[in-house]
Amino acid sequence: MEKIIDEKKQGESLVTEQKKQNTRKLYIESYGCQMNFSDSEIVASILANEGFNTTQTLEEADLVLVNTCSIREKAELTVRKRLEKFNAVKRINPNMKVGVLGCMAERLKNKFLEEEKIVDMVVGPDAYKDLPNLVREIDEGRNAVNVILSKEETYGDVAPVRLNSNGVSAFVSITRGCDNMCTFCVVPFTRGRERSRNPQSILEEVNDLWEKGFKEITLLGQNVDSYLWYGGGLKKDFDKASEMQKATSVNFAGLLAMVAIAHPKMRIRFSTSNPQDMTLDVIETMSKHNNICKYIHLPIQSGSNRILKEMNRLHTREEYFELIDNIRKIIPDCAISQDMITGFPTETEQDHRDTLSLMEYVKYDFGFMFAYSERPGTLAARKMKDDVPQEVKKRRLTEIINLQQQHGLYRTRQHLGKIEEVLIEGNSKKSNRHWMGRNTQNTVVVFPKENYKVGDFVNVKITDCTAATLIGEAVGYSENN
């Protein structure tokens, strides 16, 4: 054990030494999902070994990387706009190189180089270990592209460099890719097939975060409930695994319990869950361990069985209600949030009313709601006409956002008068005399600072609320502190 610690210390001092010697500057910007932000930390780590330290100042960068999102057209347009800005900076600093990472890189491949002259390098989400070679290529004046998707890559052996970290909470990725093939979604095409990361390397990363003073981790995956480690390889090849591999495999409930037991004073969150893959086992594991936060992000996309089928969501509205009922039975105070899409092809007013009535049933704590955006190459784009007029999509979106607002307020009001444990993350957005943190349900709580500090677990009495925020006063440290 001592030897391992020694080696690790040595490793760390090597990294620090390396950072001191690094002379080139990397500016990295991330868009889209949490996984992209987590990936950028992996990229920063790989490039730290290649002589790059990160900078927050675009103008002084030698290498500018933008980690992109393709989920909706708007996300792609945002990136194109940023490239215009980078172009303006490049006119002043012609030696600056620009690379595009992530889902847009994977979707557009070589086409990116033709469409955006400023881009020198295109790298897909599974090719980051090739960055040292790709950077050498662009250093020598050639364009560089690697968009090969992998069956194994999980970056389990890369220790992320924490970027823009509050030192309190961190992302730990546990699965990559998605096999679900929802017909509207571009992710299976840009992030490839589902594979899980070795639980040992996950635990090591969490141990390291704990030693560095982090208090909360979020286990990340496109579909965390489908986590399955059987020695490596694609989830879909599990059937071909040996009996031994099957017998010693670890599923998501197993992984959650493992992490929760290893670090009883650390808060554990996870995202995202898919209704069809979430098991009772996971819900029971959550209720057994106090440090697993009582919050589930459980996207459904639509309340209409017909639309769910067209979306290939592989579960019905009734099955979803059963899952919600089970969650409420096993964890009565669990918060639940949603993702919804309005205006999927063929959606009628009746389908839309089904979505509203589903929301009435669940009364989500919060939600992320979007108008359908057709993505090239997806099954919906190939087989269905994007036939709901923009103004109808928008009107339906406004209706579900308004309803969510009412439900948010209904949920936050349930916290009034209670004393809840809050982990302090930083200054409140509105006032630097107040701290901002979250309760176990992931609801933001704001309260006067007094003598508490970032990273403290504090008991807060909730005295007021809005639809999304709880307001209160600290009554002392919690026993977790």
The response to whether 334 counts as a known ligand-binding position is: no
Give the residue with the Cβ less far from ligand F3S, 156 or 275.
275
Which of 42-50, 184-192, 355-363, 437-445 is the region at the interface with ligand SAH (rule: CB under 6 A)? 184-192
Interaction between residue 187 and ligand SAH (CB under 6 A): yes
Task: Dig out the tokens for 234 from the structure.
Answer: 């694609």
Near ligand SAH by CB under 6 A: residue from 71, 145, 250, 257: 71
Q: Which residue has the tokens 């890559």?
A: 153
The response to whether 293 counts as a known ligand-binding position is: no
Which of 23-31, 125-133, 179-187, 434-442 is the region at the interface with ligand SAH (rule: CB under 6 A)? 179-187
Which of 260-268, 370-378, 427-435, 446-454 is the region at the interface with ligand SAH (rule: CB under 6 A)? 370-378
Which of 37-45, 81-89, 182-190, 236-244 is the region at the interface with ligand SAH (rule: CB under 6 A)? 182-190
Residue type for 410, please?
Y
Give the residue with the Cβ less far from ligand F3S, 104 or 471.
104
Give the residue with the Cβ less far from ligand SAH, 146 or 355.
355
With CB under 5 to 8 Å by kind, the binding choice for 217 among ligand SAH, ligand F3S, none is none
With CB under 5 to 8 Å by kind, the binding choice for 256 among ligand SAH, ligand F3S, none is none
The response to whether 33 counts as a known ligand-binding position is: yes
Q: Site residues for ligand SAH, window 2-61 (CB under 6 A)?
A: 33
Near ligand SAH by CB under 6 A: residue from 72, 176, 352, 411: 72
Q: Output the smallest distance, CB 215 to ligand SAH, in A.
A: 23
Q: Output the smallest distance, CB 280 to ligand F3S, in A.
A: 20
Q: Output the smallest distance, CB 31 to ligand SAH, in A.
A: 13
Residue type for 109, please?
K
Binding mask 168-207 for ligand F3S (x = CB under 6 A): ----------x-xxx--x-xx-------------------
Give the residue with the Cβ less far from ligand SAH, 341 or 460.
341
The CA distances from residue 3 to 6, 8, 175, 204, 206, in Å, are 5, 8, 30, 15, 19
Q: Output the smallest distance, CB 40 to ligand SAH, in A.
A: 16
Q: What is the 3-state secondary structure (H, E, C) of the chain?
A: CHHHHHHHHHHHHHHHHHHHHCCEEEEEEECCCHHHHHHHHHHHHHHHCCCEEECCCHHHCCEEEEEECCCCHHHHHHHHHHHHHHHHHHHHCCCCEEEEEEHHHHHHCCHHHHHCCCCCEEECCCCHHHHHHHHHHHHCCCCEEECCCCCCCCCCCCCCCCCCCCCCEEEEECEECCCCCCCCCCHHHHHCCCEECCHHHHHHHHHHHHHCCCCEEEEECCCHHHCEECCCCEHHHHHHCCHHHHHCCEEHHHHHHHHHHHCCCCEEEEECCCHHHCCHHHHHHHHHCCCECCEEECCCECCCHHHHHHCCCCCCHHHHHHHHHHHHHHCCCCEEEEEEEECCCCCCHHHHHHHHHHHHHHCCCEEEEEECCCCCCCHHHHHCCCCCCHHHHHHHHHHHHHHHHHHHHHHHHCCCCCEEEEEEEEECCCCCCEEEEECCCCCEEEEECCCCCCCCEEEEEEEEECCCEEEEEEEEECCCC
Q: By rule CB under 6 A, what count of residues binds ligand F3S?
A: 10
With CB under 5 to 8 Å by kind, the binding choice for 375 among ligand SAH, ligand F3S, none is ligand SAH
Which of 83-91, 111-119, 355-363, 365-373 is the region at the interface with ligand SAH (rule: CB under 6 A)? 365-373
The CA distances from residue 207 to 18, 214, 288, 379, in Å, are 23, 10, 21, 42
With CB under 5 to 8 Å by kind, the binding choice for 188 among ligand SAH, ligand F3S, none is ligand F3S
Q: Output the smallest distance, CB 79 to ligand F3S, in A.
A: 19
Give the residue with the Cβ less far from ligand F3S, 307 or 445.
307
How far apart, in whole angstroms, are the C-alpha atoms of residue 436 and residue 417?
18
Q: Site residues for ligand F3S, window 255-294 (CB under 6 A)?
A: 274
Backbone angles phi, psi at 35, to 5 degrees: -60, -35
Task: Report the relative pairing of strands 419-427 and 457-465 from DSSP bridges.
Answer: antiparallel
Q: Site residues for ligand SAH, window 287-346 (CB under 6 A)?
A: 299, 301, 339, 341
Contacts with ligand SAH by CB under 6 A lie at 33, 71-72, 184-185, 187, 222-223, 272, 299, 301, 339, 341, 370, 372-373, 375
Which residues does the annotation place in the binding site for [4Fe-4S] cluster?
A: 33, 69, 103, 178, 182, 185
Give the residue ranges of the annotated binding site.
33, 69, 103, 178, 182, 185
User: Residues in the site for ligand F3S, rule: CB under 6 A?
Assistant: 178, 180-182, 185, 187-188, 222-223, 274
